[in-house]
Structure 1
Amino acid sequence: MRSQPTALSIGEFGRLAGLSIKALRLYDVSGLLPPAEVDEPSGYRRYTADQLDRARRISMLRRLGVPLAAIGEMLALSDAEAVTRLDRWWAGEDAAMEARRSSYLWLRTRLAHGDDPERDYAVRMERRSGRKVATIRAQVDQQALVPAIGTAQWAIRAHLDEQGAVHGPEHWVVFHGLVTPDTEATIEVCVPCSGPVEPSGEITLRLEPGRLLAYAEVLRDDCFYPRITAAYEAVHQHVTTAGLVAAGPPREIYLNHWERLAGDDPFCRVAQPVEE
Structure 2
Amino acid sequence: MKAKSTDLITMQAFSNLTRLSRKALRLYDSMGLLVPEHVDPQSGYRHYHPDQADTARLIALLRQLDMPLTRIQEVLDVPEHQKSSLVRRYWKGVEQETHTRKRLVEYVSNVLDHKEMPMHEVKTRQIPDQIVATIQRRVFAKDIGEFNGNSLGALFSHLGDQVSGAPFIIFHGAVNEDSDGPVEVCIPFSGQVQPAGDIGIRIEAAHEEAYVTITKEQCIFPEILQAYDAVSSWIKAEGKDCSFSSPREVYFADFMNAGPDDLVCDIAYPIR
TM-score range, shorter chain: 0.5 to 0.7
The residue number in structure 2 matching 1:266 is 263
Aligned AA (2:198): E
Aligned AA (2:167): H
TM-score, length basis structure 2:
0.55
Residue 215 of structure 1 pairs with residue 211 of structure 2: yes
Query: Alpha-carbon deviation of 1:208?
Result: 1.1
Q: Secondary structure at the match of 2:119?
A: coil
The residue number in structure 2 matching 1:193 is 189
CA displacement 1:226-253 (0-9 Å, x = unmatched): 2211111111111111111114111111
Aligned AA (1:188): E
The residue number in structure 1 matching 2:163 is 167
1:169–1:256 CA contact under 8 A, matched in 2 = no
The residue number in structure 2 matching 1:145 is 144
Aligned AA (1:262): G
CA–CA distance in 2 between the matches of 1:189 and 1:171? 7
CA displacement 1:208-227 (0-9 Å, x = unmatched): 11111100112111212222
1:212–1:273 CA contact under 8 A, matched in 2 = yes
> After the TM superposition, which residues 118-129 of structure 1 pair with which residues of structure 2 at under 5 Å, given as runs?
118-129=117-128
The residue number in structure 2 matching 1:132 is 131
The residue number in structure 1 matching 2:237 is 241
Aligned AA (1:258): F
CA–CA distance in 1 between the matches of 2:246 and 2:143? 20
The residue number in structure 2 matching 1:226 is 222
The residue number in structure 2 matching 1:250 is 247
Flag structure 2 segments of 5+ consecutive residues without an equivalent.
Answer: 1-88, 111-116
CA–CA distance in 1 between the matches of 2:177 and 2:263? 25
Query: Alpha-carbon deviation of 1:119?
Result: 2.5
Between Structure 1 and Structure 2, how many residues are aligned?
Answer: 168
The alignment's C-alpha RMSD in Å is: 2.8
CA–CA distance in 2 between the matches of 1:267 and 1:172? 12
Flag structure 1 segments of 5+ consecutive residues without an equivalent.
Answer: 1-99
TM-score, length basis structure 1:
0.55
Aligned AA (1:180): N
Query: Alpha-carbon deviation of 1:265?
Result: 2.8
Query: Alpha-carbon deviation of 1:200?
Result: 1.2
Structure 1, 116-125 or 237-246: larger mean CA deviation: 116-125
